[in-house]
Amino acid sequence: MIRIDPDKKRRRLRVVLPEARRMASACSACGHACGAPRTGAGVGTCRAGLGDGDHARWQAATPHFGEEPMLVGRGGSGAVFFSYCCLRCEFCQNWQISRQGAGNNGHFSDLAQTFLKLRSRGVENINLVTPTQYILPILSALEAACARGLDIPIVYNTNGFDSVELVRLLDGVVDVWLPDMKYMAPEPAARFSHAANYPDTARAALRQMYAQAGPLHIENGVAARGVLVRHLVLPDDLSGSYDFLLWLRDEGMTDISISLMSQYSPQYRAKTHPEIARPLTVREYEDVVAYADKLGFENVLIQEMTSKDAYLPDFDREQPFHKRTD
């Protein structure tokens, strides 16, 4: 298990917290920059609210064995799934929590306890899943947990729609960045996730993450720090897979770790859009994998085409994921 120094992280969190409170008071945490007063009664475009900035809402908190192997290690990734989301993806597989807001409200001290409980179960890291809309209470919880000895890496598992301001703020707090890169063009981003500025926002965020943390550093098979970017390949190249790989190369990020995901299946409202109403074909996926190879990327994680079933969660169950996939 990788250990981090909780006192050092706590010192950084104490510097960061006042700035995070300022940012949340007219929220600019994500690409919407909707300005909702999240330290007061404001509810954002993301639909997250809760008043004083000290409360968050989350659903499951569980050792998760379905993430990439370097996040899972032996003990699993300590995933905490936060409610709501700053994107509104028509194909979201976590729609029960991202769109319907399933979960329970809790004070940041409860959240700190949740982190510590996961740690006591032997997880390899704390995996903050879709955290951006609750960044202020999460940082307060981390500060409280570090004060009580939380000493494992923090993984920021995000849809990628994060402001550069937020990414900069989290320098020294986040150990492993785990962003998505969902689209490279505004049209599909607007049509399927209601955020035409997603590509520009996510590219800027990823650039900043990489500048801060660099490529993924793995110790004894487990991610210690750095960036692992996820890319879900969509039918008919709607996610701009080839453009994404070219962009990474042109940006000089050839040593970045990429998780190329084949698991797309038409969930939630995807069936109402003919373009995304079908799963990915083997050919579509293999062509993207071959292109990554052709461009010389060496740190590419690929999935079996059967992964789409193993990865589908049901957040009405106590254990949202079907089975271990490690």
Interface contacts to ligand SF4, rule CB under 6 A: 27-30, 32-34, 36, 38, 44-46, 48, 86, 132-133
For the bound state, the minimum distance from the C-beta of residue 48 to ligand SF4, rounded and expressed in Å, comes to: 6
For the bound state, the minimum distance from the C-beta of residue 29 to ligand SF4, rounded and expressed in Å, comes to: 4
Question: Scanning the structure block, which residue is given the tokens 């996040």?
Answer: 71
Tokens of residue 239, six digits: 């996610």
H or E element, residue 13:
helix 6-25
| Nearest residue (CB) to ligand SF4, 65 versus 161 | 161
Decide the pairing of beta strands 77-82 and 55-64: antiparallel
For the bound state, the minimum distance from the C-beta of residue 55 to ligand SF4, rounded and expressed in Å, comes to: 14
| Nearest residue (CB) to ligand SF4, 35 versus 149 | 35
Q: How far apart are CA 172 and CA 166, in angstroms?
A: 12
Contact 83, 57 (CB under 8 A): yes
CA nearest neighbour of 232 among 268, 191, 263, 278? 263
The C-alpha R_g of the chain, in whole angstroms, comes to 18
Q: How far apart are CA 131 and CA 159, in angstroms?
A: 9
Q: How far apart are CA 160 and CA 180, in angstroms?
A: 5
| Nearest residue (CB) to ligand SF4, 48 versus 112 | 48
User: 186 to each of 31, 183, 199, 229, 288, how far by Cα in Å?
Assistant: 13, 8, 6, 19, 21
CA nearest neighbour of 246 among 304, 281, 203, 192? 203
For residue 302, the SS3 value is strand
CA nearest neighbour of 127 among 118, 137, 136? 118
DSSP string for residues in 126-181: EEEES-GGGHHHHHHHHHHHHHTT--S-EEEEE-S-B-HHHHHHTBTTBSEEEEB-
For the bound state, the minimum distance from the C-beta of residue 138 to ligand SF4, rounded and expressed in Å, comes to: 12
For residue 84, the SS3 value is coil
| Nearest residue (CB) to ligand SF4, 138 versus 223 | 138
| Nearest residue (CB) to ligand SF4, 46 versus 123 | 46
Please identify the residue of the shown chain whose CB is closest to the bound ligand SF4: 44
| Nearest residue (CB) to ligand SF4, 209 versus 256 | 209
Tokens of residue 203, six digits: 């590219």
For the bound state, the minimum distance from the C-beta of residue 195 to ligand SF4, rounded and expressed in Å, comes to: 10
For the bound state, the minimum distance from the C-beta of residue 293 to ligand SF4, rounded and expressed in Å, comes to: 36
For the bound state, the minimum distance from the C-beta of residue 33 to ligand SF4, rounded and expressed in Å, comes to: 5
| Nearest residue (CB) to ligand SF4, 77 versus 208 | 208
| Nearest residue (CB) to ligand SF4, 29 versus 280 | 29
For the bound state, the minimum distance from the C-beta of residue 97 to ligand SF4, rounded and expressed in Å, comes to: 15
